[in-house]
Amino acid sequence: MSAQAALRPDSPARDFESDDELLARVLRPYKVNCKYLKSASVSARSGRVTAGCSFSIPESCYIDDTGHLNAVEVNISYNQMMYYAVAKSVKEGLLEDFTSWTLDDYWRHQLPDILIARFGGNFRRPINARSFFGEIEFLSVERRSPGGKTLIVADTSYRYWDGEGGRCDGEVKLAIVNGP
């Protein structure tokens, strides 16, 4: 599979508003005070899948208030928007390498088989964690078969911002083991 063929080639541009039922199911594994993702819309166009998200972190789950979004919360927020984007892609048949998965397959693989292989971030200006926005984009998805086992490698980018000029961005490489 070509690294640039993340989006199914036969798919027209498509937009999906936030799916509250799917979002609740995606966030089920998280502790109540760690459900930061509030809504997510997904777009599929120009060979890429993107999710635009809104977040709120009323109180950090592990540290006293730092006054801004910190690296741990960036990672948790990334996980939540990535899990939602993949689940929505499976549900709607957006990413070619996941077309053989059902949502039941996704729920079985969500936690044990979707791994962050590399996480990088750039903090440009402090972000208000109480209310901020994020976006994830799947830049490439590639199927590999090392030792006969299916491995999917996805390169993604993310960014966060708030209404006060705060911003952060980075890139994440995902490895989906035991893939479709």
Instruction: Provide the domain limits for residue 91.
Output: 14-177
Give me the mean pLDDT over the 164-168 stretch. 97
What 3-state class would DSSP assign to 46?
Answer: coil
**What is the model's pTM?**
0.91
Q: What is the dihedral of CA 116, 119, 123, 124, to 10 degrees?
A: -110
More confident residue, 116 or 64: 116
What is the C-alpha to C-alpha distance for residues 102 and 109, in angstroms, rounded to an integer?
11
Examine the pLDDT at 60 and tell me if it is beyond 90: no
- Number of neighbouring beta carbons within 10 Å of residue 80: 24
Residue 41, in any domain of the structure: yes
Question: Could you report the per-residue pLDDT of 4-36, keeping only the tens digit for each?
Answer: 435 555 567 899 999 999 999 999 999 999 999
Give me the mean pLDDT over the 151-176 stretch. 97
Residue 90, in any domain of the structure: yes
Residue 116, in any domain of the structure: yes
Q: What is the CATH number of the domain that holds 26?
A: 3.10.129.30
Of 81, 94, 108, the C-alpha closest to 176 is 108
